[in-house]
Every structure is written in C-alpha cells, then in structure tokens.
Amino acid sequence: MKKLNELFNVHYGNKLDLNKMDSQTIANDGVNFVGRSSQNHGVSGTVARLTDVEPYPAGLITVALGGTKILSSFVQEQPFYTAQNVAILTPKSPMTFAEKLYMCLCIRQNRFRYSAFGREANRTLRSLLVPEASEFPLWVRQSDLQQFNQTDLPANPNDKPMPLKIEQWKLFRYDEVFVIKKGCYNKRPPLSSSVSDIPFIGATEKSNGVTGYAKLEVIERYSRDGTIKKEPLERKLFDGKCITVSNNGSVGEAFYQDRQFTCSHDVNPLYLKDKAVELNREIGLFISTVIRLDKYRWGFGRKWRPIRMPSSTIKLPVKADGTPDFDFMERYIKSLPYSSQIQ
C-alpha cells in the first residue's frame, strides 16, 4: 500500500461556478463540467469553452472532496473543467484505463472515513492508502475493455435525436390503454437464485422488480397465502411482454418484463389493449419511464391497487387520429445512445 500522492500528482481543479457559465453542447465545442455529483461520471453539464482557461485533458481522475457522496471518483474521458472541492489526479507512472478504474474503486472504499462525521477530504486525500500497481489483482490487468467500444451507439445510428414535444401528448385513462391484472401472492413461495427458474416480481425498485426465482413445481404447490395447496397455474403465472407496476411499497416503480413470471399481489401487470401492437422492449422502456415519473403522486403512503389504477391517467405521444403513437415510442428509444445494447 502507498499514499495516494506517491502514485499521483494531486491538485485542486478550476474552482468554477456552473451557474456563472454559459451552457453549450459537446457538438458545439462545449466542455464537460465536473462537480461533486456521484452520477454521470461527476459531470453536471456542458459549458462553453473559456478563452482564458484551458480544459484539463481527458484521462485524468476527478475526486469529490465533499458532499453526500464524498470521494466519488471517475476517469474523465473528455476534456473538462471542475467546480470547487474537486481534486484532480495525474498518474506519475503510465496507467491503463482499467487500472485507473480500479483506483477509483479503491478511493471510494475510503468514504466511510468521512461520511459519518461530515468531514471533507481536502487535507487528507493525499495521505489515503491505496494499492500500488504490483498489488493490483490479476483480473484488472487482464480486463478487456475493448469489448465495450461503440456500446454507446443508438440502435438506429442514422436517426437524428427526436424531440419529445410533450405539450402535444394526450392524457389517457389507464383502462383505455392497458388490460390491468392483479398480482398473485400475498406470501411468496420459497425462492431460489437460479435465473433459469421463474422470476418472482415484488414491490421493489431494484433488479427490474425481480426479488428472486421460483421453480415451476414450487409455484404449483404453494398457494397465494403461503400454504401448500395446489391451485391452477394460470392464476399464478403471467405472460411476458408486459409492464409490472408496484402498487404498494415502492409505489409507481415500473419495469418491462419480457419473459413469463409470477408476482406479489403488490404488483399490477399491465398488457396493451391494442392486440395489433407488440409491447416490445423499446415501447416497454418508454412507457415504464413515463409511469415512473408519476411516482410522486403516491408518496404519501397511498396504494395504487388495481381498483384505483383504471381511472388514473397517463400522458402519451399520439398519432393524428388521437391514439397512442407506439411507433414513435419505439423509434425514440432506438435513437438514444446505448440503445444498440437493448436485447
């Protein structure tokens, strides 16, 4: 182990204020602005290039020195400016991209030293102990990051970014768009961790709603109240190509399901009423995102049971005849970066 400043030149960034800078897009020679965020590689936005301040070059590591996510560390892949309380690390010896990523993980693991006491890392960052190159795990050196090249491409690379024009969307009752079904289990059956089994969807905001997996024979044996009693499987199994929405707990969390599943009674499976349209992954991702944006309506302990959902409303893009424009939803998702990886 060595101190961080033995492996890197550690210095403070530009100390600029985002709200005093002009916004600009990367396509128009904009520059990434790195703050103390733990999301989006720490990039808070893109700003116009300053005539008297040269951006830092790509390939350096930024570290947040304060905030709720102190020590958030990222390898910056494009030139950048920084806000206050952001440190910049320049390797003293050549490092591969994979080694820099591993170092970011090592730095973040020191967060516990600060978060419980509201301390900042301005004075102590340089003395943090981190592994030196000879101590890096073998898998770091053997990591093939080339496999991720071009993963940021859209599925339709020739499509230009599509404006949403939300002001032209139309409100629909849920029962105008969806067949709303009731979930099954009040008490879930014994679950496994084998992804080859049937997914069990619960009222969670993680893992696409999947809280575990159940074998088909287990689903058949256990009734909805947890007792061992054979009941028809058709009451417990739901077809894929639908959206599951939590009606209790993490109310409003919505996920697209592409395979057969079983679920808690705290979940509403939604199927399109329009049988001529296949609810594919792109359309499912679009609608799930719209549903999730309404989560705030259920933030006061209210439940969104199937008896209440039909009269709820959802705003969607529409065609000239006033019906939902599912084709636009699909094309919009396929025009987004990384959509080529939707499988």
Domains in the chain (CATH in brackets) are 2-148 (3.90.220.20), 166-341 (3.90.220.20)
Query: How much is the average pLDDT of 196-223?
Result: 94
The 10 Å Cβ neighbour count of residue 220 is 16
Residue 95 contacts residue 126 (beta carbons within 8 Å): no
Question: Which of 150-154, 277-281, 323-327 shows the lowest per-residue confidence on average (mean pLDDT)?
Answer: 150-154
CA torsion angle 286 36 141 153 (round to 10): 30
pLDDT of 26 reads 75
- Whole-number average pLDDT of the chain: 92
The one-character DSSP state at 57 is P
* pLDDT tens track for 25-48: 776 789 999 999 999 999 999 999
pLDDT of 116 reads 59
pLDDT of 149 reads 77
Query: How much is the average pLDDT of 313-337?
Result: 95
Residue 246 contacts residue 225 (beta carbons within 8 Å): no
pLDDT of 117 reads 66
Residue 202 contacts residue 211 (beta carbons within 8 Å): yes
The one-character DSSP state at 328 is H
pLDDT at residue 270 above 70?
yes
Q: List the structure tokens of 245.
A: 């929405």
Give Cα separations from 292 to 256, 277, 288, 329 (angstroms). Answer: 12, 22, 6, 16
* pLDDT tens track for 69-108: 899 999 999 999 999 999 999 999 999 999 999 999 999 9
Query: How much is the average pLDDT of 307-321?
Result: 96
Rounded Cα gap, residues 103 and 108, in angstroms: 9
pLDDT at residue 160 above 90?
no
Q: Report helix angle 326-334 to 281-292, nearest 10.
A: 100
pLDDT of 12 reads 92
pLDDT of 25 reads 77
Rounded Cα gap, residues 214 and 198, in angstroms: 5
Percentage of residues of the chain with pLDDT beyond 90: 71
Residue of 119 and 61 predicted with greater confidence: 61
Element of type H or E holding 178 = strand 178-180
Query: How much is the average pLDDT of 154-170?
Result: 86
pTM above the 0.85 mark?
no
pLDDT of 77 reads 93
Amino acid at 320: A
Question: Which of 17-21, 253-257, 280-284 shows the lowest per-residue confidence on average (mean pLDDT)?
Answer: 17-21
Residue 116: which residues within 8 A CB-CB, separation 6 or more? none
Residue of 12 and 24 predicted with greater confidence: 12
* pLDDT tens track for 334-343: 998 888 888 7
Percentage of residues of the chain with pLDDT beyond 70: 99
Residue of 173 and 235 predicted with greater confidence: 173
pLDDT at residue 333 above 90?
yes
Helix ranges restricted to H, 183-303:
216-221, 281-292
Residue 291: which residues within 8 A CB-CB, separation 6 or more? 243, 245, 252, 254, 314
Element of type H or E holding 200 = strand 198-201
Query: How much is the average pLDDT of 112-138?
Result: 87
